[in-house]
Amino acid sequence: MRVFSYQKAATPAAAAAAALHTPGAKFIAGGTNLLDLMKLEIETPAHLIDVNGLALDTVATTADGGLRIGALVRNTALAAHPAVRRDYAVLSRALLAGASAQLRNKATTAGNLLQRTRCPYFYDTNQACNKRVPGSGCSAIAGFSRPLAILGGSDACIATHPSDMAVAMRVLDAGIDTVRADGGTRRIPIADFYRLPGNTPHVETVLQPGELITSVTLPRPTGGTHVYRKVRDRASYAFALVSVAAIILPDGTGRLALGGVAPQPWRIAAAEQALPNGSAAVSERLLAGAHPTADNAFKAILAQRTIAAVMADAAAQKG
């Protein structure tokens, strides 16, 4: 691990200002992903700004009946929150499908959104990776690409976003609330939060330098049947090969997004409009434009079958 200096931030705006004005600065919250990457010198911050003392760790009902989740609410606490279990079950299920209990006790809501890919070539500093070293090339595309993206990738990068939580947040139309160094705030719809890799896979979100996530806001509950199904190489504690987050309403309409297959949660309006027509129609539209490698072509078939299973499960739960 490289040498770094360390400070505790006093306020969110002060944290943002420190991050903007200190070269090589990064925020640290749970640290479960950042420290892993710092040990491998994939992340090499010269300065860490600890935001854990910022009192952004509460969950509150909003004026319009939604839920504002503090950026520092731990994954365990969010999954177990009574309002999340009752009204946003897809989020609770997605959180519980991710990582281990030890990691969920530390990992934060904002940190989960910002976690880096687990592409093995991103992690192997002997390999070319445009995300780790911009312009160095991509060893993954012609390499071992079984866990990697079939949708949304580019000639520069086929890494996936590893989060389960973000897939649920995507179907819940979460808004990501931030503060900037000048104290200005904004809400970024999660649909606009992640950037596709294109030629700049190292730029993963629309966050500006120094911009700090303060909370994630969920609109008022949708009702309906909430399902999160994750398919992985072992029964627990593994990243998704394919995951499906779905909210199916009594009239057969709803929302559906895929995880594990793209650089961001993959949700397509045209596919959702096909929900009343059955899973084949949904899959055809959701997977349109898929560009799998020989290694990961199975993911398209797995996605189709998982979508079918989720829709059948939702129909059965509705009774």
**Smallest distance, another protein to C-beta of residue 300, A:** 25
Query: Which stretch, 30-38, 151-159, 209-217, 296-304, contacts another protein (CB under 8 A)?
Result: 30-38
Does residue 99 contact residue 107 with C-beta atoms inside 8 Å? yes
55: left (phi over 0), alpha (psi -120 to 50) or beta: left
Query: Which stretch, 5-13, 190-198, 256-264, 273-281, contacts another protein (CB under 8 A)?
Result: 5-13
Interaction between residue 233 and another protein (CB under 8 A): no
**Residue of 270, 269, 267 whose CA lies nearest to 259:** 267
**Which residues are paired to 226 by β-bridges?**
247
Interaction between residue 298 and another protein (CB under 8 A): no
**Smallest distance, another protein to C-beta of residue 77, A:** 9
Half-sphere exposure of 39 (CA within 13 A, CB side): 5
Interaction between residue 184 and another protein (CB under 8 A): no
**Smallest distance, another protein to C-beta of residue 58, A:** 17
Of 11, 61, 62, 102, the one binding another protein by CB under 8 A:
102
Rounded CA separation 199/317 (Å)? 43
**Residue of 68, 69, 24, 22 whose CA lies nearest to 181:** 22
Of 105, 185, 200, 222, the one binding another protein by CB under 8 A:
105
Interaction between residue 133 and another protein (CB under 8 A): no
Of 14, 20, 35, 191, the one binding another protein by CB under 8 A:
35
DSSP annotation of 48 reads: E
Of 19, 72, 96, 159, the one binding another protein by CB under 8 A:
96
Q: What angle do CA 85, 164, 245 make, to 5 degrees?
A: 65
Rounded CA separation 116/123 (Å)? 10
Is the CB of 103 or the CB of 206 nearer to another protein? Answer: 103
**Smallest distance, another protein to C-beta of residue 26, A:** 12
Interaction between residue 39 and another protein (CB under 8 A): yes
Query: Which stretch, 88-96, 147-155, 207-215, 261-269, contacts another protein (CB under 8 A)?
Result: 88-96
Give the list of residues 6+ apart from residue 35 with CB closer than 8 angstroms, or none: 28
* Residue carrying the six token digits 């950037």: 195
Q: Which amino acid is at 249?
A: L
How many other C-beta atoms can be found within 10 angstroms of the C-beta atom of residue 209? 11
Of 9, 69, 72, 92, the one binding another protein by CB under 8 A:
92
Residue 78 three-state SS: helix
Does residue 162 contact residue 120 with C-beta atoms inside 8 Å? no
Interaction between residue 221 and another protein (CB under 8 A): no
Interaction between residue 101 and another protein (CB under 8 A): yes
**Smallest distance, another protein to C-beta of residue 7, A:** 7
Interaction between residue 50 and another protein (CB under 8 A): yes
DSSP code string of 117-186: P--HHHH-TTS-BTTTSTTS-BSSTTS--TTS-SSS-BTTB-PPP--SHHHHHHHTT-EEEEE-TTS-EE
Site size toward another protein, by CB under 8 A: 42
Interaction between residue 5 and another protein (CB under 8 A): yes
| Residues contributing to the site for another protein (CB under 8 A) | 1, 3-7, 22-25, 28, 30-32, 35-36, 39, 46-48, 50, 52, 76, 79-80, 85-86, 89, 92-93, 96-97, 99-103, 105-106, 235-237
